Amino acid sequence: MENSAVGEKGRKKMVKRVVISGGGTAGWIAAAALSKKLGELLDITLVESDAIGTVGVGEATIPPLRTFHHLLGIDERAFMRATQATAKLGIAFENWGREGERYIHSFGKTGTGAWMCDFHHFWLRAKEMGFTSAFGEFCLEHQAALAGRFACGPESPLNFAYHLDATRYAAFLRAFSEKHGVCRVEGTICDVRQNPHSGDIESLLLETGEEISGDLFIDCTGFRSLLIGTALQSAFEDWSHWLPCDSAVPLQTRASEPAMPYTRSIAESSGWRWRIPLQERVGNGLVYCSRYLSDDEAITRLLEQVDGEPLTDPRVLRFTTGRRAAAWKNNCIALGLASGFIEPLESTSIHLIVTGIVRLMQLFPFNGVEPSLQGEYNRQTRRELEDIRDFIVLHYHLNQRVGDPFWDYCRHMAIPDSLAQRIALFHERAHAFQNNDELFRVDSWVQVMLGQGLQPLSWHPLTQMMSEREMQRLLGGLGSQVERALHLLPEHQAFIEQYCRGDVVAKV
C-alpha cells in the first residue's frame, strides 16, 4: 500500500494547493493567517456555501487573540468597529460555588509574589493573621471589571480580550483574506474524493459539478466534520462523562443598559447561562444537560431571564464534548468544531482555532506530509485540549450546589488523574502551577479554585518570615497601586463610544 505522504512515483507530494473546507470563524481565521503569512508560497482556496448556516455564537474571546491580530497586522480599532466589539476583562461566575455567591476569573496578574511562591501564599497568610482584604482587590483587571472601567493603548496596563459578533468577525476576516489572495468558491460539498491506495483526499466535489483539487485540506465544516470525521474516519474521543452538558440555546437581545467589560456565567439547576454584552446587542444562551432539562424547559427558562427585546428566535444546538483522536490525518487537518468541542465556559473556542492554524504554519508540510509532522501536531493538540478540559471540569467538580441532581453528579463524578493531582496540590499546600505550553496561568487556577471554595490547608512557610507590620505594608502598597491605576481609567461605555463605536446593527 502506498504511504499517504508518497506520490505515485514514490516521491513525497509537495504541498502548494491548500483547500479550506467551510467558512465561518474557523475557515476565515485559517484563510487570514495562511494568506497573510504564507500567501506567496501557497495557492489558497476556501469553499463555503451560503445555504449552510454556521453556529456563530462564539462571541467571547481570551487575550491571546490580540497577539494573533498583531501577528496579522490587524488594526484593533477597525476590527472592534467592524465586529461591534466591547472589552472583556474576565468572567463573572455566579452561583457556581453556592447559590448567591460570585467570583471573577480576571485576565490580570494578582499581587506580587516571590520566586519561591506566588502572591496567594502571602494573601492566605495575611488572612490567618486577621487581614480581611479580598483576593481580587490586588488585581487591576478584577477591580476595573467590577467598576465598569476600561482603556486600551500604549499607556494602559490592562490585559483584556473582546466580546464580538462572530458573524461579523468572519466577514471581516473574509475581506482581509481575499485582499491577500484567497479564492472563495461558493458551493455545497457533495463528495470527498480520496486516493484509493493512500486514502489521501484528492478533491472536493460540489453539487454544481465543480471539482476542487488540492494537496492539503483543512476541515472547517463544524460539527459535521465531513473530511476528518466522515471521509477519513478519525475516531472521536467522548468526554461527556466529565462534561455532561450536551445542548445549548442561544438568543440575541437588544442592549438595554451600558455594556460592562466582562462576561457573565450564571449557574442554573441543570447547566449555566451566559450573557455577553456587545455594542448594540447582547448575546445570551443556556448550556444544559438534556438528561436533566428538556429543550422546552430550557427555552422557557432562558426567555424568562433575559433582558431586552429578543432579536432572534431561540434554537437548540446539540453537541458532544470531546476531540478527534487525530486532528491531522493523512493530508487533512481539522480546525474548530470539526476537530472536537470543549464547551464555551472559558471562551476557548476561537483560541483553539487560532492555535491550531499557528501550529500548522509552524509545522507546515511544504515538502510533503511526514508522519513526524503529523505526530508532533497531534501531540501538541492533544496536550492543549486536555489541559483546557481539566480547567473546565474544575468549575463543575468543585461546586457546592447540594440537592441539584446535575450538580450532585458533577461533584461526585470521577475526574481525570491530572486534575485530581492539581486539586490535591492546592488543597494540601496551596500550590498552583502552569506548564510551559499551557494556556491557563497560575492566576487563573488560583482564582477559580478559591472562587469555587477550595481552601488550602497550608501554604509556603516563607510567608511566616513576614511580620504583621511588613504584611500590612505589602498589602497596603499593592492595594493603593491598584486604586490609583483604577481611577485613571474611563467608564467602559464612554471608552467604546469614543474609540470604536460601530455602525448600528442591522435587523437580524
What integer pLDDT is reported at residue 319 of this predicted model?
96
Evaluate if residue 1 carries a pLDDT over 80.
Answer: no
Over range 216-220, report the average pLDDT: 98
Over range 123-140, report the average pLDDT: 97
- Residue 4 in any domain: the answer is no
Is residue 474 domain-shared with residue 398, that is, in the same domain?
Answer: yes
What integer pLDDT is reported at residue 503 of this predicted model?
62
Considering the chain, what is the average pLDDT of its residues?
A: 94
pLDDT, one tens digit per residue, over 419-457 is 999 999 999 999 999 988 899 999 999 999 999 999 999
pLDDT, one tens digit per residue, over 328-383 is 999 999 999 999 999 999 999 999 999 999 999 999 999 999 999 999 999 999 99
C-alpha dist (Å) from residue 112 to 122, 142, 232: 9, 15, 50
Report, as residue numbers or ranges, the catalytic residues.
88
Evaluate if residue 301 carries a pLDDT over 90.
Answer: yes
CATH number of the domain enclosing 203 = 3.50.50.60
Separation between Cα atoms, residue 19 and residue 202, nearest integer Å: 10
Picking from 448, 357, 351, the residue whose alpha carbon sits closest to that of residue 397 is: 448
Residue 311: phi and psi, rounded to 5, are -105, -15
Question: Are 187 and 22 spatial neighbours (Cβ–Cβ below 8 Å)?
Answer: no
Picking from 165, 142, 147, 152, the residue whose alpha carbon sits closest to that of residue 277 is: 165
- Residue 74 in any domain: the answer is no
Structural domain ending residue among the three candidates 276, 302, 318: 318
What integer pLDDT is reported at residue 9 of this predicted model?
43
- Residue 79 in any domain: the answer is no
Residue 507: band (very low, low, confident or very high) from pLDDT cuts 50, 70, 90? very low
pLDDT, one tens digit per residue, over 242-294 is 999 999 999 999 999 999 999 999 999 999 999 999 999 999 999 999 999 99
- Residue 471 in any domain: the answer is yes
CA 326 to chain centroid: 20
Number of H helices, E strands in the chain: 14, 21
Is residue 210 domain-shared with residue 336, that is, in the same domain?
Answer: yes
- Residue 384 in any domain: the answer is no
Over range 124-134, report the average pLDDT: 96
Is residue 281 domain-shared with residue 298, that is, in the same domain?
Answer: yes
Separation between Cα atoms, residue 186 and residue 179, nearest integer Å: 17
Evaluate if residue 156 carries a pLDDT over 60.
Answer: yes
Separation between Cα atoms, residue 4 and residue 396, nearest integer Å: 42
Evaluate if residue 485 carries a pLDDT over 60.
Answer: yes
What integer pLDDT is reported at residue 52 of this predicted model?
72
- Residue 466 in any domain: the answer is yes
Is residue 227 domain-shared with residue 328, that is, in the same domain?
Answer: yes
Give the whole-number percent of the chain exceeding pLDDT 70.
Answer: 95
Is residue 271 domain-shared with residue 408, that is, in the same domain?
Answer: no
Give the whole-number percent of the chain exceeding pLDDT 90.
Answer: 92
Is residue 399 domain-shared with residue 457, that is, in the same domain?
Answer: yes
Evaluate if residue 392 carries a pLDDT over 80.
Answer: yes
What integer pLDDT is reported at residue 54 of this predicted model?
61
Residues 6 or more apart whose CB falls under 8 angstroms from that of 338 comprise 22, 26, 219, 220, 221, 222, 223, 224, 225, 226, 227, 228, 229, 324
The SS3 of residue 345 is helix
pTM for the full model? 0.94
Q: Which domain holds residue 469?
A: 108-149+390-487
- Residue 342 in any domain: the answer is yes
Pairing of strands 328-329, 332-334: antiparallel
pLDDT, one tens digit per residue, over 30-87 is 999 999 999 999 999 999 998 776 655 669 999 999 999 999 999 999 999 999 999 9
pLDDT, one tens digit per residue, over 170-202 is 999 999 999 999 999 999 999 999 999 999 999
Most confident segment among 5-19, 190-204, 489-503: 190-204
What integer pLDDT is reported at residue 188 of this predicted model?
95
Separation between Cα atoms, residue 93 and residue 103, nearest integer Å: 5
Is residue 479 domain-shared with residue 396, that is, in the same domain?
Answer: yes
Is residue 475 domain-shared with residue 399, that is, in the same domain?
Answer: yes
Separation between Cα atoms, residue 332 and residue 219, nearest integer Å: 7
274: its cell numbers = 451566559
Evaluate if residue 8 carries a pLDDT over 50.
Answer: no
Is residue 314 domain-shared with residue 335, that is, in the same domain?
Answer: no
Is residue 268 domain-shared with residue 361, that is, in the same domain?
Answer: no
Is residue 338 domain-shared with residue 406, that is, in the same domain?
Answer: no
- Residue 496 in any domain: the answer is no
Number of domains, the chain = 3
Helix, strand, coil fractions of the chain, as percent rounded to 5: 40, 20, 40
Is residue 336 domain-shared with residue 448, that is, in the same domain?
Answer: no
Separation between Cα atoms, residue 346 and residue 55, nearest integer Å: 17
